[in-house]
Amino acid sequence: MQRHLNIMKGKRPVLSVFFVLLILTFSLITASAEENEKEVYIGGFPFGVKIETQGVIVSDIREIDSNVGKVCPAKDAGFKPGDIITSVSDKKVNSAGEVADIIANSKGKILKVQVERGDKKLSLNLVPVLTSDKKSYKTGLYIKDSAAGIGTVTFVLEDKRTFGGLGHGISDRNTQRVLPLKTGSVHPVIINNVIKGSNTVPGELKGSLDAQPNGTLLKNTEMGVFGTFNKNLENLEKIKVGNKNEVKEGKCTIYTCLDKTTRSKIEGEIVSIVDKNSKTKNFIISLTDKETLKKTGGIVQGMSGSPITQNGKLVGAVTHVCVNL
């Protein structure tokens, strides 16, 4: 809902952190899988997430039309995108709506705002101004406290419940910073349609996210999201986890879902090894499966987390995408 403070609550889903298509970068399977499990169950099926952030995130700062012209109180106070608002005028805040209400009722009085910026804790003085129509008080802050969307499960551990997926963190679109997780739920997803992409416009998996959760999201990291399902998953296929030194240029297979909940095996090729020691981007692949290319135009939004195998071993997951110009 859009409030007086330009709340971006729920407006930036998980899908917003995906990019374009065709030439792709991938991350090796996380240390939690490689160190603790010699074998895992391979994913490739969709899942949905809903998260609430720890604190209120400043997503953007913009000028506003006030009764004295264009101004930006948030910038004047020293706010920066990515700041986490923890309290306003000595009142702890847990939602964007709470911050919006305080500003709307401020009558232009100075608000002392506590924020976290990386490892630093700051106190900023924010002065809301009356809008040009003299109907409300604003500050130029764009804030959010939640996100939702779909991705793909990469692997499931021996207990048939614990999983890793998405291949990268759930991030703010404007700052690209991983959102601090307060609470999160996992939801069943059915893929209803695939919008084909092009060189300039990303394609997208269209899915229905069940309102009833079937799991809990526990961690949101730059390498992916991790959580547990409420019940043991059935019909899973075991696979060995490959060592990063085993990854070679050449053919590979991508496991993903393009229809309902049916998992597909798609042919691809590892084009080059970028950096085996990077936490988030290790090698580049291209999609070679002709039938899939006809349908999707390449990797599309919603496929992030899709597991990549080579020589019968799990070696990575789809993370980010680069445009092939």
Q: Give DSSP secondary structure letters for 253-267.
A: EEEEEEEBTEEEEEE
- Give me the pLDDT at residue 274, please: 85
Rounded to an integer, the average pLDDT of 300-323 is: 86
Residue ranges, comma separated, of all CATH 2.40.10 domains in the chain are: 14-54+146-323
- Give me the pLDDT at residue 237, please: 95
Q: Is the pTM of this model over 0.95?
A: no
Catalytic hit among 87, 136, 289, 320:
289
Q: What is the pLDDT of residues 213-238, one digit of tens each?
A: 999 999 999 999 999 999 999 999 99
Predicted confidence band of residue 320 (pLDDT cuts 50, 70, 90): low
Q: What is the mean pLDDT of the chain?
A: 86
Three-state DSSP class for residue 296: helix
Cα–Cα distance between 203 and 18 in angstroms, integer? 10
Residue 6 has pLDDT above 50, yes or no: no
Rounded to an integer, the average pLDDT of 257-270 is: 94
Residue 120 near residue 22 (C-beta atoms within 8 A): no
Cα 267 off chain centre by: 25
- Give me the pLDDT at residue 279, please: 75
Query: Could you confirm whether 320 is annotated as catalytic?
Result: no
Query: Could you confirm whether 187 is annotated as catalytic?
Result: no
Predicted confidence band of residue 322 (pLDDT cuts 50, 70, 90): low
Rounded to an integer, the average pLDDT of 316-323 is: 73
Three-state DSSP class for residue 244: helix
Mean pLDDT lowest among 48-52, 125-129, 272-276: 272-276
Please report, rounded to a whole number, the percentage of residues in the chain having pLDDT higher than 90: 70
Residue 139 near residue 73 (C-beta atoms within 8 A): yes
Q: Taking the CB of residue 105, how many other CB atoms lie within 10 A of it?
A: 11
Mean pLDDT lowest among 224-228, 292-296, 308-312: 292-296
CATH architecture of 57-144: Roll (2.30)
Look up residue 280 and give its two tokens: 């988030």
For residues 3 and 91, the model is more confident at: 91
307-310/250-259 β-pairing: antiparallel
Mean pLDDT lowest among 39-48, 51-60, 169-178, 226-235: 169-178
Cα 98 off chain centre by: 24
Rounded to an integer, the average pLDDT of 274-282 is: 78
- Give me the pLDDT at residue 321, please: 57
Catalytic hit among 59, 171, 185, 304:
304
Query: Could you confirm whether 171 is annotated as catalytic?
Result: no
Catalytic hit among 27, 168, 171, 185:
168
Rounded to an integer, the average pLDDT of 185-203 is: 89
Cα–Cα distance between 252 and 276 in angstroms, integer? 17
Mean pLDDT lowest among 117-121, 129-133, 243-247: 243-247
Select from 42, 25, 44, 24 the least CA-distant residue to 33: 42
Residue 46 near residue 259 (C-beta atoms within 8 A): no
CATH code, 14-54+146-323: 2.40.10
Residue ranges, comma separated, of all CATH 2.30.42.10 domains in the chain are: 57-144
Q: What is the pLDDT of residues 162-176, one digit of tens each?
A: 999 999 999 888 788
Three-state DSSP class for residue 99: helix
Rounded to the nearest 5 degrees, what angle is found at the Cα of 42, between the Cα atoms of 36 and 43?
115
Cα–Cα distance between 11 and 58 in angstroms, integer? 13
Residue 100 has pLDDT above 50, yes or no: yes
Ramachandran sector of residue 134 (left: φ over 0; alpha: ψ -120 to 50; beta: rest) = left
Give the chain's end-to-end CA distance (angstroms, integer): 37
